Protein backbone atom coordinates (compact mmCIF):
# COMPACT_ATOMS: atom_id res chain seq x y z
CA UNK A 1 0.00 0.00 0.00
CA UNK A 2 1.43 3.36 -0.93
CA UNK A 3 1.81 6.09 1.67
CA UNK A 4 -0.80 8.22 -0.12
CA UNK A 5 -3.40 5.46 -0.12
CA UNK A 6 -2.69 4.66 3.51
CA UNK A 7 -3.05 8.32 4.46
CA UNK A 8 -6.34 8.65 2.55
CA UNK A 9 -7.64 5.48 4.21
CA UNK A 10 -6.74 6.84 7.65
CA UNK A 11 -8.56 10.10 6.90
CA UNK A 12 -11.61 8.11 5.77
CA UNK A 13 -11.45 6.07 8.98
CA UNK A 14 -11.51 9.25 11.09
CA UNK A 15 -14.65 10.42 9.31
CA UNK A 16 -16.34 7.04 9.59
CA UNK A 17 -15.51 6.80 13.29
CA UNK A 18 -17.03 10.24 13.88
CA UNK A 19 -20.24 9.34 12.04
CA UNK A 20 -20.57 6.04 13.92
CA UNK A 21 -19.80 7.66 17.29
CA UNK A 22 -22.74 10.02 16.77
CA UNK A 23 -25.09 7.34 15.42
CA UNK A 24 -26.63 6.18 18.67
CA UNK A 25 -25.64 2.59 17.93
CA UNK A 26 -24.58 0.44 20.89
CA UNK A 27 -20.85 0.62 21.58
CA UNK A 28 -20.48 -3.10 20.82
CA UNK A 29 -21.48 -2.45 17.20
CA UNK A 30 -19.15 0.49 16.58
CA UNK A 31 -16.12 -1.47 15.37
CA UNK A 32 -18.06 -3.83 13.05
CA UNK A 33 -20.02 -0.90 11.59
CA UNK A 34 -16.84 1.13 11.09
CA UNK A 35 -15.28 -1.78 9.22
CA UNK A 36 -18.42 -2.33 7.16
CA UNK A 37 -18.64 1.33 6.17
CA UNK A 38 -14.95 1.61 5.32
CA UNK A 39 -15.21 -1.31 2.93
CA UNK A 40 -18.73 -0.83 1.58
CA UNK A 41 -19.32 2.92 1.68
CA UNK A 42 -15.75 4.16 1.24
CA UNK A 43 -14.76 1.37 -1.17
CA UNK A 44 -11.56 0.48 0.65
CA UNK A 45 -10.15 -2.98 -0.06
CA UNK A 46 -10.40 -5.31 2.92
CA UNK A 47 -6.63 -5.47 3.23
CA UNK A 48 -6.39 -1.67 3.41
CA UNK A 49 -9.17 -1.50 5.99
CA UNK A 50 -7.38 -4.19 8.02
CA UNK A 51 -4.14 -2.19 7.97
CA UNK A 52 -5.90 1.02 9.03
CA UNK A 53 -7.96 -0.65 11.77
CA UNK A 54 -5.07 -2.79 12.96
CA UNK A 55 -6.59 -6.24 12.54
CA UNK A 56 -6.44 -9.18 10.16
CA UNK A 57 -8.19 -9.45 6.79
CA UNK A 58 -10.07 -12.42 8.24
CA UNK A 59 -11.41 -10.19 11.01
CA UNK A 60 -12.60 -7.70 8.38
CA UNK A 61 -14.39 -10.49 6.51
CA UNK A 62 -16.08 -11.80 9.65
CA UNK A 63 -17.36 -8.36 10.66
CA UNK A 64 -18.62 -7.65 7.15
CA UNK A 65 -20.51 -10.95 7.07
CA UNK A 66 -21.95 -10.30 10.54
CA UNK A 67 -23.28 -6.93 9.39
CA UNK A 68 -24.67 -8.34 6.13
CA UNK A 69 -26.58 -10.93 8.16
CA UNK A 70 -27.86 -8.22 10.53
CA UNK A 71 -29.26 -6.22 7.60
CA UNK A 72 -32.25 -8.61 7.65
CA UNK A 73 -33.55 -6.36 10.44
CA UNK A 74 -35.27 -3.44 8.66
CA UNK A 75 -34.44 -1.00 11.46
CA UNK A 76 -30.76 -1.85 11.41
CA UNK A 77 -30.69 -1.79 7.62
CA UNK A 78 -32.19 1.71 7.65
CA UNK A 79 -29.57 2.84 10.18
CA UNK A 80 -26.76 1.57 7.95
CA UNK A 81 -28.31 3.32 4.95
CA UNK A 82 -28.50 6.59 6.89
CA UNK A 83 -24.85 6.30 7.93
CA UNK A 84 -23.85 5.55 4.33
CA UNK A 85 -25.83 8.60 3.16
CA UNK A 86 -24.09 10.79 5.75
CA UNK A 87 -20.70 9.65 4.48
CA UNK A 88 -21.72 10.21 0.87
CA UNK A 89 -22.78 13.77 1.71
CA UNK A 90 -19.27 14.51 3.00
CA UNK A 91 -17.57 13.53 -0.25
Q: What mean pLDDT is predicted for residues 50-69?
A: 95
Average pLDDT over residues 1-22: 92
81 band by pLDDT with thresholds 50, 70 and 90: very high
Asked if residue 67 lies in contact with residue 36, where contact means CB atoms within 8 angstroms, the answer is yes
Q: Are 63 and 36 in contact (CB under 8 A)?
A: yes
- CATH topology (fold) of 3-90: Chromosomal Replication Initiator Protein Dnaa; Chain: A; (1.10.1750)
* Band of residue 1 on the pLDDT scale cut at 50, 70, 90: low
pLDDT at 91: 60
Average pLDDT of the segment spanning 62-67: 94
CA 86 to chain centre: 12
Residue 22 is classified by DSSP as T
Amino acid sequence: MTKLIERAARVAAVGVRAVVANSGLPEALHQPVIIYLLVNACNLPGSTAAAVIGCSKQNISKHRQRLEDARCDPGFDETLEQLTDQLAAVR
